[in-house]
Amino acid sequence: MKQKKDLILIGGGGHCRSCIDVIEMDGRFTIRGIVDERDSLDHALSMYPLLGREEDLVELAKSYKNFLITIGQIKTPEPRIRLFDHLKQLGMVLPIIVSPLAHVSRQAILAEGTIIMHDALVNAGASVGRNCIINTKALIEHDAVIEDHCHISTAAVVNGTAKIERSSFIGSNSVIRESVVVGESSIVGAGVAVLHHVGPHSVMHALSS
């Protein structure tokens, strides 16, 4: 049996709990602890020790190599981007985590630090960038492109050859039409159907779709 690698999680909130479930099912890593800005972790995370705060990452990097950012991304991707860049400067490894309950085509491409949650589907020819969240039941169709630092939320659909540019958030049950481009740092709210190209820094809610 192949020896499991140690893994440190950064962020101890609700998204972290979901990530832990995926990591434990994936079975390739042993979670050694969590880095969080709070003084104590939620009871649901108490099985893992609190190893310190963000300021302690430099010291932790002397003992551990593998880190995963488990902070959620809804309002802004900035904390995830800052942490990703910091970990890369420290020379750390950010593994790709895929739930055994998800399906990722052998013809798809995933980049470092990305997590594919339960029942998600990444189809043939799709590309998912670095430090992304492809959340529960999300669908990334054939040849779609998800750039770095994006969160594709629960049950969202990104149709074939669509492109989600970096640092964007696609809300639950939203649908991105085939070949549509969602510009950089945009927010698409829950349940929105995006039928035309959207420029950078756009914010779309159901009433404005």
If we measure between CA atoms, which residue out of 21, 16, 22 comes closest to residue 36? 16
Short-list 88, 41, 93, CA closest to 67:
93
Give the pLDDT confidence score for residue 75 in this predicted structure.
80
Tokens representing 72 are 């959620």
**Dihedral class, residue 179 (left if φ above 0, else alpha if ψ from -120 to 50, else beta):** left
- Spell out the domains of the chain, with CATH numbers in brackets: 5-89 (3.40.50.20), 96-209 (2.160.10.10)
> DSSP assignment, residue 27?
-
144 confidence band (pLDDT: 50, 70, 90) = very high
**3-class SS at 181?**
strand
| Average pLDDT score over residue span 120-131 | 98
Average pLDDT over residues 126-142: 98
pLDDT category of residue 37 using cuts at 50, 70 and 90: confident
Of 120, 81, 76, give the one whose Cα is nearest residue 97: 120
